[in-house]
Amino acid sequence: MTTQPVHFYQVGSFAVGNRLLDDSDQTVQSDPRRSNSLDSGHRACQGCGEALGARYVLDAAMRATSGRLLAVNATGCLEVFSTPYPETSWRIAWLHSLFGNAPAVATGVAAAMKVKGKTDVRVVAQAGDGGTVDIGFGCLSGMFERNDDVLFVCYDNEAYMNTGVQRSGATPPAARTATTEAVGPEPGNVFGQGKDMPRLAMAHGIAYVATATVADLHDLEDKVEHAMRLRGARYLHVLVPCPLGWGSAASDTIKVARLAKETGLFPVFEAIHGEITAVSPIRHRTPVEAYLSIQRRYSHLFGEHGRPDIVARIQEIADRNIATFGLSAKETDRGEKETSA
Amino acid sequence: MTAAEILSMAAFAEGRHSQAFPSFGSERMGAPVVSFCRIDDRPIRTREPVMAPDALVIQDVTLLHQVDLFAGLSVEGFILINTSQSFDELGLGEFLRKFHRHRLVTCPATEVALQQLGRPLPNAALLGGFAALTRQITLDAIAAAIRERFGGDTGERNVAAATAAYGLVVREEEELARATPD
Amino acid sequence: MLRQIEGSRAVAETVARCRPEVVCAYPISPQTHIIEAVGAMVKAGRLSPCEFINVESEFAAMSVSIGASAAGARAYTATASQGLLFMIEAVYNAAGLGLPIVMTLANRAIGAPINIWNDHSDAMAARDSGWIQLFAETNQEAADLHVQAFRLAETLSLPVMVCMDGFILTHAVERVDVPEQADVDAFLPAYEPRQLLDPDNPISIGAMVGPEAFAEVRYLSHLRQLDALELIPALASEFARAFGRESGGLLHSYRTDDAETVVVALGSVLGTIKDAVDLRRDAGERIGVVGITTFRPFPLEEVRRALSGAQRVIVVEKAFSVGFGGVLSTDVAMATHDVKLSLRTVVAGLGGRAITIRSLEAMLTDAVSDRLEPVTFLDLDLEMVHRERARLRTVRRSGPSAENLLRDLGAVASRIG
């Protein structure tokens, strides 16, 4: 077996590796024998949260299934930057069909495995937010309703990034995109109803729904493993900052993701059959400014022509999440998270 | 459609070629639902609706004066109407004079069905009446087709309805023969 | 086994004998009887192993088929008209990926105006997609073509759609010899994929291809369809030997040997045309019929050969290209471009309007006297059209034309001839 040198980068706390942990507690990413499902050489932007998220998720899924995994990918950044003809950076079996049909294609793959009696082979489908909450929504709901044996992962960077940062159903209020420019009395995206995809998934009563970010690798991997222990339709929603689209520094991706959670704007939780069973509490309650101000997609809210009123409305959203989901942490000595996963 | 379908199955049971299909006309309110059946000893190729029927079976008398049901029917043609009224009572007396009287019968198929099946579904009875009227198909073949289509008790009851209607039409034919000897 | 059976049912039973492993069902008239019958067989355990999946749209139906086929399962679905359009992105995708999916297309008109009855506009909408398109003349042929379709699709790694006229064939009860399981098994071996999603041999399927290779990839599909021009007749011969009857092939000619006039058509109308042609033959006219069974790939050479002896060719088709003219006619024109003959397009049967022998007779009389316009719409009520045009000229807010025409037609009308 060949080994390759693995570099551990210190990016703050809870980093990849954490060499002081017991082997069994170490992350998949720290394991030199991990699948490297999404191998190096792809064309993602520097600091791409989605590339990180996909690698984390799929390597964890590959370990959980002992490599018996098939992946279906919707059109989008991930598909495009991972397979520039004639290369592919996928080391796993991988199928890309269309933009809106990843859930349905995955249903078909799962059905084929079932009919062939290959019950050990599992299926993961993945798409960006556009391919999940907008164009893929109908197929996703159908897959949930039938309870097809697929783990569907949404890498949410909150806009149609591949086509040039256009607004999607997942774009948060006030964010600037190419189709919600920062001009006029309501700069950036409107304050609409939003589309709470994790809760929509929960409404289908499926076995497992969870949200996660690329800032907490252990949490993300645990959730993938939990999901892969189950059968039937499962949904994982991962927040993946996009430095290009969000206007954040390439080196800030993990920091931005963590701030999304710590402000309460992105609740991190697990739900079983429509009921929330575990919540990842906020360690250090942080005002939304800290999160918004380091992303140029919100720059119109600050400075000389800033909009503190809009920031206040966004803060309200965060406060409401914290109350609704019970995100306030109970402080413990080591600041451990209070999940029961 | 079921009646035409069963008739085609009966013809098949007799070793003949047969084609049954629904009309493709607009199914707006008031438009009749028509189905067609062709029976032949040779394979049937054409797909057009039956433009010049040799026989007409009218299941629903309320259509009589709404649409020209008789269009294309040859004067040699057979007519079987599901009703307990007479042709005169239906207002058809004058119109039907150009046809052969013994080729026109009424049959209270819905009533027969109510008696035999307990439900106002006249199809089987009409097929029995058709067999008696035209002699183009045997009652046995109709019965076989009905049994295949429905099976079990329902099949048997429908066969009974067909048989009863067959008998009624045979008697009506006999009366006609006595009344108009030709 | 010889049975008197509804077309849809015959197809369903035959498809079941082809042992599909994943069947997707989304209802649309007039294919529903097919998919319902297959579903019932799966539920009763008569078709097993098979995953019968009730999907949420036609787009999902084709997408699930794509996933299933790529993962090694024999996949089947059915649709019509609007459903085909709804899945069209996936239809092109399946062909581009080279997946041997078989689909029944119960030909139905495309709206607006919404119309559930038969014509060929749906099939025509997919003719450039890369799917092989076969047209059945009878329900016997519809059933038989499915057996050949699976074999054809899997040999070439191309999807195949079997077109059968909605209602006219699907809902007609007629004599069909439904193939026996053993015979189908002998003709159709298990699906051996060219590409497979397999954790033991991971590959990437569906990569992006830029200008540097796209043309070559597409040209390969083209060549594969052209391969079908040889494979289809070979399969038809093999089928004839195995099942004892002629079915499929590229085209068939009827009484064309010395024909001055040849009528060309697709699908079930060929039966009616043959009856009309026989009547004229009886009267001494030299007239014949060419029925095209394989529409894509279009058998240019065979069509040319079949028509090269004729003086005039009348293409009777159930579709038209709005603002232009015939669709099938254009293909036939291309096939015969260097043959000296007069080509006429007769658009008939749109939206399920019956094509009667009487109308064909009148049209053919005009045709052989060379009185036909280049494009004729058979049985068109021109007066009704002119009345609506006059209405459009007089008032701006003239309302939906479709509704105006219906009102003009009267409340009760069963237009059967």
**Interface pTM, i.e. ipTM:** 0.94
**Interval B146-175 mean pLDDT:** 94
| Helices and strands, counts by H and E, chain A | 11, 8
User: What is the predicted pLDDT for the residue at B151?
Assistant: 86
Q: Is residue A4 part of a domain?
A: no
The per-residue pLDDT for range A125-157, each reduced to its tens digit, is 999 999 999 999 999 999 999 999 999 999 999
For range A77-90, the mean pLDDT: 94
For residue A333, pLDDT beyond 90: no
Phi-psi region of B122 (alpha: psi -120 to 50; beta: other; left: phi over 0): alpha
pLDDT tens for C50-109 read 999 999 999 999 999 999 999 999 999 999 999 999 999 999 999 999 999 999 999 999
The CATH number of the domain holding residue A101 is: 3.40.50.970
pLDDT digits (tens, 9 = 90+) for C216-270: 999 999 999 999 999 999 999 999 999 999 999 999 999 999 999 999 999 999 9
Give residue C48's pLDDT. Answer: 97
pLDDT beyond 90 at B2: no
* Domains of chain C by start residue, with CATH: 2-243 (3.40.50.970), 251-377 (3.40.50.920), 389-417 (no CATH)
Average pLDDT for chain C: 96
Mean pLDDT value of segment B10-38: 81
pLDDT digits 0-9 by tens, A38-50: 999 999 999 999 9
| Residues of the domain holding A45 | 23-325
Distance from CA of C348 to the nearest CA of B (A): 12
Chain A residue whose CA is closest to C47:
A115
Strand order through the sheet with A234-239: A275-279, A269-272, A208-213, A234-239, A151-156, A122-128, A69-73, A93-96, C204-205
Interchain proximity C64–A95, CB inside 8 Å: no
- B21, C171: Cβ pair inside 8 Å? yes
Residue A335 lies in a domain: no
Nearest CA in chain B to C417: B51
Q: Can you give the pLDDT at residue A11?
A: 57
State the average pLDDT over residues A271-291.
Answer: 96
Question: Tokens for A250?
Answer: 């390439």
Give, for A227, the enclosing helix (H) or strand (E): helix A217-229
Residue of C nearest to B28 (CA): C412
In chain B, % helix, strand, coil (3-state, to 5) comes to 45, 15, 40
Going by pLDDT thresholds of 50, 70 and 90, the confidence category of residue B25 is low
Which residue type, as a one-letter code, is found at position B31?
Answer: A
pLDDT band at B71 (very low <50, low <70, confident <90, very high): confident
Residue C87's CB is within 10 A of a number of other CB atoms, namely: 26
Please check whether residue C281 touches B, CB under 8 A.
no
Nearest residue on chain C to A74, alpha-carbon basis: C206
Q: Do chains B and C touch (3 or more CB pairs under 8 A)?
A: yes
Inter-chain residue contact C206 with A97, CB threshold 8 Å: yes
Alpha-carbon distance of C300 to B105, in angstroms, equals: 57
Tell whether A222 is covered by a domain: yes
> Across all residues in chain B, what is the average pLDDT?
90
Distance between C89 CA and the closest CA of chain A, angstroms = 8
Q: How confident is the model at residue B177 (pLDDT cuts 50, 70, 90)?
A: confident
- Mark yes or no for CB contact A138/C60 under 8 Å: yes
Predicted pLDDT of residue A13: 54
Domain B2-176 has CATH 3.40.920.10: yes
Per the CB < 8 Å rule, is C21 touching A115? yes
Q: Give a yes or no: residue A332 inside a domain.
A: no
Are B25 and C412 inside 8 Å of each other by CB? no
Domain annotation covers residue A33: yes
Closest chain C residue to the Cα of B44, Cα to Cα: C271
Instruction: Examine the pLDDT at B32 and tell me if it is beyond 70.
Output: no
Q: pLDDT class for A3, splitting at 50, 70, 90?
A: confident
For an interface test with C, give the residue of B28, B48, B70, B142 to mutate (most C CBs within 10 A).
Answer: B48
Q: Per the CB < 8 Å rule, is B29 touching C352?
A: no
Chains linked to A by 3 or more Cβ pairs within 8 Å = C
Beta bridge partners of C345: C315, C375
Please give the tally of structural domains in chain A. 1
- β-pairing verdict for C287-292 and C251-254: antiparallel
Q: For a pLDDT cut of 70, what percent of chain A falls above it?
A: 92
Please give the residue of chain C at the shortest CA–CA distance from A92. C202
pLDDT of residue A334: 36
Give residue A213's pLDDT. 98
How would you classify the pairing of strands C173-177 and C2-6?
A: antiparallel
Model confidence at B22, pLDDT cuts 50, 70, 90, reads confident
Look at A23-32, A180-189, B80-89 and tell me which has the smallest mean pLDDT: A23-32
The answer to whether the Cβ–Cβ distance between C66 and A113 falls below 8 Å is no
Which pLDDT band, with edges at 50, 70 and 90, does A8 fall under? low
Q: Determine the average pLDDT of the residues in A197-219.
A: 97
CB-based contact (8 Å) between C1 and chain B?
Answer: no
- Inform me whether the C-beta atom of residue A262 falls under 8 Å from chain C C-beta atoms: no
Chain B residue numbers touching C356 (CB-CB < 8 A): 48-49, 51
pLDDT in tens, A47-62: 999 999 999 999 999 9
Q: How many CB atoms sit inside 10 A of residue B74's CB?
A: 11
pLDDT for res A335: 39
Question: pLDDT tier at B94 (50, 70, 90 boundaries)?
Answer: confident
Distance CA B89, CA B85 (A): 6
pLDDT: which is higher, A327 or C415: A327
Within C22-133, where are the H helices? Answer: 32-43, 58-70, 81-86, 88-97, 121-125
Question: Are C204 and A88 inside 8 Å of each other by CB?
Answer: yes
Is a pLDDT exceeding 70 seen at residue C414?
no
Question: Shortest CA distance to C107 belongs to which of C119, C91, C98?
Answer: C119
The predicted structure's pLDDT at residue C263: 98
pLDDT value for B27: 47
> Which residues of B are less than 8 Å from C355 in CB distance?
47-48
Q: Which of A110, A130, A111, A124 is nearest to A153 (CA)?
A: A124
Q: Residue A332: pLDDT band by 50, 70, 90 thresholds?
A: very low
Instruction: Answer whether residue C404 shows pLDDT above 50.
Output: yes
Under the banding of pLDDT at 50, 70 and 90, the label for residue C283 is: very high
pLDDT band at B95, cuts 50/70/90? confident
pLDDT of C310 over the 50 cut:
yes
| pLDDT for residue A286 | 97
* Residue A30 maps to a domain: yes
User: What per-residue confidence (pLDDT) applies to A2?
Assistant: 76
Asked if the C-beta of C265 comes within 8 angstroms of chain B's C-beta atoms, the answer is: no
Query: Which pLDDT belongs to residue C95?
Result: 98
Band of residue B68 on the pLDDT scale cut at 50, 70, 90: confident
Residue C331 has pLDDT above 70, yes or no: yes
**What is the least distance, in Å, from the CA of C158 to any CA of chain B?**
32
Q: Report pLDDT for A341.
A: 37
Interface touch C207/A88, C-beta < 8 Å: yes
Question: Touch between chain C and chain A (3+ CB pairs, < 8 Å)?
Answer: yes
* A91/C202 Cβ within 8 A: yes
Asked if residue A185 belongs to a domain, the reply is yes
- Measured between CB atoms, does C87 come within 8 Å of chain A? no
Helix axes C328-335, C300-307, angle to 10 degrees: 80
Q: Which long-range contacts (CB under 8 A, 24 or more apart) does A29-36 make?
A: A29/A55, A29/A56, A29/A59, A29/A217, A29/A221, A30/A6, A31/A63, A32/A3, A32/A4, A32/A6, A33/A1, A34/A59, A34/A62, A34/A63, A35/A59, A35/A62, A35/A63, A35/A67, A35/A91, A35/A92, A36/A91
Question: Is the CB of B31 less than 8 angstroms away from the CB of C412?
Answer: yes
